[in-house]
Amino acid sequence: MLMRFVHFEKPGGPEVLYLSQGNAPEPKAREVLVEVYAAGINRPDVMQRQGFYPPPSGASEILGLEVSGKIAKCGKGVTRWKAGDAVCALLTGGGYSEYAVASDELCLPIPNEFSFEEAAALPETFYTVWTNLFEDGHLQKDETVMIHGGAGGIGTAAIQMAHAFGAKVITTVGKKEAIIICKELGADNVILYKEKDFAIAAKEFTQDKGVDVILDMVGGDYFERNIEALSYRGRLIQIATIRGNKVSLDLYRMMSKRLVLTGSTLRKRSVSEKAQIARGLEINIWPLLNQGKIKPRIFKIFSLEEAAAAHALMESSQHTGKIVLSVRDMHR
């Protein structure tokens, strides 16, 4: 069976992406073949296209870490799903295509009233936020969390999830028009980082206590100010390093404040580790999605043929929410 997919031969700018054609993959045991209706765009996709983030051994070379669609075929041992079921799925690669293979344990049902485009915005983003902010960061009700990049896909999801669990939310944004959006999503305080130092603003908001948890994808020169902004026994969770991964740390300051510094990537984790995250999401977050209390914010939808334009928008950082590829002009 032939399929269309987005391809690139050499690393480069968005212009290296083009549509190609090849054979659809076959599901192995405990895998499903998903007829892809939509695929989410994420920073790791951009990094892979640039040559900085190669796929793990055995993963598809095709870009794309999250999709939604209908199951076309089940491999041996699959019991939960059947052909025709509508799902969204976390992948290690292969999403920018008409068909993609996913582990049956990393598929989740599409929430009530969600379009395929909205569902495709869930897996990579919500897996990342749940495991980092709640499983590793142990964010609790009434604690204060600072979420950097509040206007992006991760940020808009993290604000809603933290707010839903009763945390006080501070977030940083780079443009004024994002302030109202983030407040509507549940942020208690939005800092325009180009106009005010976020560490000072965080101390002011918490009456000099500092924040309990920070979710950061920036790194670089943010690191020392994150340490400054954290409370006694605060937790810093690093999920990306847009401004660089080399930093300087005053160990005594870390010890005296009893800080916890941690971080993670998602793509290289084992299926069993990711399946545990999926179970946590289905128990704790999927009910909120089904009730409409949380919903991904979609900024723009592109066609599969427009993948280069979607990547250019991602790199511009002018979006507020998720960027999605619509692979098929179909509805649930």
What pLDDT score does 328 carry?
Answer: 83
102 vs 5, 34, 65, 126, CA distance in Å? 16, 7, 10, 17
SS3 of 123-186: HHHHHHHHHHHHHHCCCCCCCEEEECCCCEHHHHHHHHHHHHCCCEEEEEECCCHHHHHHHHHC
The count of other CB atoms within 10 Å of the CB of residue 250 is 10
Domain ranges of the chain: 2-122+267-326, 126-263
Distance CA 312, CA 130 (A): 28
**In a structure prediction context, what are the per-residue pLDDT tens digits for the chain, which is 332 residues long?**
999 999 999 999 999 999 999 999 999 999 999 999 999 999 999 999 999 999 999 999 999 999 999 999 999 999 999 999 999 999 999 999 999 999 999 999 999 999 999 999 999 999 999 999 999 999 999 999 999 999 999 999 999 999 999 999 999 999 999 999 999 999 999 999 999 999 999 999 999 999 999 999 999 999 999 999 999 999 999 999 999 999 999 999 999 999 999 999 999 999 999 999 999 999 999 999 999 999 999 999 999 999 999 999 999 989 999 999 999 865 44
Same-fold call for 2-122+267-326 versus 126-263 = no
Q: Which residues touch 320 (CB under 8 Å, ≥6 apart)?
A: 151, 152, 156, 177, 178, 181, 297, 299
Q: Which residues touch 276 (CB under 8 Å, ≥6 apart)?
A: none
For 126-263, give the CATH class.
alpha beta
DSSP reduced 3-state for 199: helix
Distance CA 165, CA 199 (A): 24
pLDDT digits (tens, 9 = 90+) for 99-150: 999 999 999 999 999 999 999 999 999 999 999 999 999 999 999 999 999 9
For 2-122+267-326, give the CATH class.
alpha beta
Q: Which residues touch 331 (CB under 8 Å, ≥6 apart)?
A: 115, 116
Query: Of 45, 4, 94, which is closest to residue 322 (Cα–Cα)?
Result: 45
> Percent of the chain beyond pLDDT 70?
99
